[in-house]
Structure 1
Amino acid sequence: MKCHESLCYIAAGAEVTAIDLRTMKKASVLALQNHRILSCEMMPSEWLICTGTKDRALLWDIRKAQELPNTVAEMQSSGPVTLLHLDQYKVVTGVPSDGQVHVWETRTGHSLNTLGCGEPSRLGVRSRVSAMAVDGCRIAMAGSSPEGCMLHYRDFATASAPVVSLPGKEKEVSRFWRPQEFDDSEEEEY
């Protein structure tokens, strides 16, 4: 549920319903045929809503027609998208079972980055992502593996390797960058 000005948006089942708080009546309904909503984020000031379903995240302009061909973007997933963040630059999706968080460009839905929530365990089992928080160019992910729990934090504010320019926008670059490479063989000195 999210409120913006006089509208309250409620996501449940396969619908996102907008209620006009002045009249307490339905203002509009976004119905996703055959897509149960597992997560939902909104940016009402930009008229965007993003819904996580069993195998993708769907980005909608809520002013347009409510059919799948009219989505702004479809972001494919390896499983149910239950973790979701939306802002003017990026959509961040998380699937608990694959141990990864995916970053997409909001305007186009192009994949920008895939971030792991941890290394595979010694038993070969992937870690799971149980929560994530996004603040600008910082992402925190919490997860677990058979070896224990972890908190993984990435800060891209000072990243030095920008992602390749977006198609048709050679002078623009994404707000997110490739993950930094770390070498575990060197010990840090304190």
Structure 2
Amino acid sequence: MRTLLFNPFEKYSDTILIVFGLLFTLIGGYLGFVFNARFDGVIDLHFVKNVSIFNPLLDIGIDIVTLTICLFVVGKLINNKTRCIDILSATMIARIPFYFITFFNANNKAYAISERILTLVKSNQINTLEALDVFYLMLMTFAIIASLIWSMVLLFNGFKTAVNAKETKHTLFFIGTLIFAEILSKILIINLN
């Protein structure tokens, strides 16, 4: 079970990983539409008032393509035998934990709480925030942090397996590439979506 959750790349073929990655990409896009979520960066998720069916799918597509290309280029520098399909499957599988976070915006609850907080901050009344809202935000924050960690573990394990990374400098290349891909994906999403 641990392998399935954190490093499926060692156990399953690239075909199975791609199929599951595509399936969950479509599910994630649909959940983004249903729960008004924007995946507006490689490691970002924001809730908005409403979205079209195409916004989350385009966001996810840009995120996957951007991260795949960036990691593939670095992977080729580390190991010339790196295959794009392995990086693509790692990128798609690593996004799955983000899709679970969308449920926190059922009935636009997370969005409504964030709007209330902004209103309270603007009127300098943040101390009047309801205890239930604080609890909900704490629960959501915990889930977001857990999903982010899970996603990064999946992505790193997939990258490590795809490029046969073993050195500390490979980990640093991975981190630098992730930061670059985050910035690039944000720029692309702002301009294209």
TM-score over 0.5 (shorter chain) = no
Q: Answer 1 or 2: higher relative contact order, Cα 8 Å, separation at least 6.
A: 2
**Structure number having the greater helix percentage:** 2
Greater share of strand = 1
